[in-house]
């Protein structure tokens, strides 16, 4: 049975929370690739006061077509307050 993108994202979120023990922040993206589904999410590595100083980690997960987590890697860390500026082409 083929899973929809929302189902793949939900399985990723549940799987990463379970294996890392971290709280989910947001889903960044999902794409279908040759090996399966690649999904990127942000997880809260460390809560801080104020919230803007929370440490967030970007995790990339690979799931097979059945939604089984087959690989995951932490790709980077940032403070919640740190944002990337998106350049627009004019």
User: pTM for the full model?
Assistant: 0.81
Q: Are 80 and 54 in contact (CB under 8 A)?
A: yes
For residue 57, which of 37, 80, 35, 38 has the smallest C-alpha distance? 80
Element (H, E) at 20: helix 5-20
Least confident of 1-10, 47-56, 64-73: 47-56
Res 5 pLDDT > 50: yes
Could you give the 3-state DSSP secondary structure of residue 76? strand
Give the pLDDT band of residue 88 (cuts 50, 70, 90).
Answer: very low
Strand partners, 24: 43
Domain ranges in the chain are 5-79
């Amino acid at each position: 049975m083929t899973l929809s993108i929302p189902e793949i994202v939900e399985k990723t979120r549940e799987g990463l929370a379970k294996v890392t023990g971290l709280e989910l922040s947001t889903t960044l993206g999902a794409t279908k690739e040759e090996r399966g589904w690649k999904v990127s999410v942000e997880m809260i590595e460390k809560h801080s006061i104020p919230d803007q100083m929370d440490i967030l980690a970007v995790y990339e997960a690979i799931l097979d077509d059945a939604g089984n987590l087959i690989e995951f890697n932490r790709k980077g860390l940032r403070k919640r307050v740190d944002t990337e500026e998106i350049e627009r082409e004019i």
